[in-house]
Chains A and B, each alone.
Chain A
Amino acid sequence: MAASEETWLETSSSDGRQILTPVGRWAVGGLFAVEKEIRAIAEAATGPIEIDLSQLDVLDTAGAWTIYRTARNLEASGVSVELTGASEDQIALIEVVRAAEAELEPDEPTGNSFVNMVEHVGKSAVEIARETADLLGFFGLILVTAAGVLVRPRKLRLTSLFHHMEEVGLNAIPIVGLMSFLIGIVLAFQGASQLQRFGAEVFVVNLVAISVLREIGVLMTAIIVAGRSGSAFTAQIGSMKVNEEVDAMQTLGLNPMEVLVLPRLFALIITLPLLAFFADIMGLLGGGLMAWIALDISPATFIERLRDAIGLWSFWVGILKAPFFAFMIAMIGCYEGFQVTGSATSVGQRTTRAVVEAIFLVIVVDAAFSIFFQVIGI
Chain B
Amino acid sequence: MRYSALRILKEGLTGNRGWKPVWRDPAPKSEYDIVIIGGGGHGLSTAYYLAKEHGLTNVAVLEKGYIGGGNVGRNTTIVRANYFLPGNSEFYSHSLKLWEGLETDLNYNVMHSQRGLINLFHSDGQRDAFARRGNAMINRGDDAVLLDREGVRKHLPYLDFDNVRFPIYGGLLHPRGGTARHDAVAWGYARGADGRGVDLVQNCEVTGIDVNGGKVQGVRTSRGVIRAKKVGIVVAGRSGQVAAMAGMRLPIESHILQAFVTEGLKPVIDHVVSFGMGHFYISQSDKGGLVFGGDLDFYASYAARGNLPMKEHVMEAAMTLMPVIGKAKVLRSWGGIMDMTPDGSPIIDRTGIDGLYIDCGWCYGGFKAVPGSGFAFAHLIAQDGPHASAAKFRLDRFRTGRGLMDEEGTGAQHNLH
State whether these chains interact: no
Measured CB to CB, the residues of A under 8 A from B are none
Measured CB to CB, the residues of B under 8 A from A are none
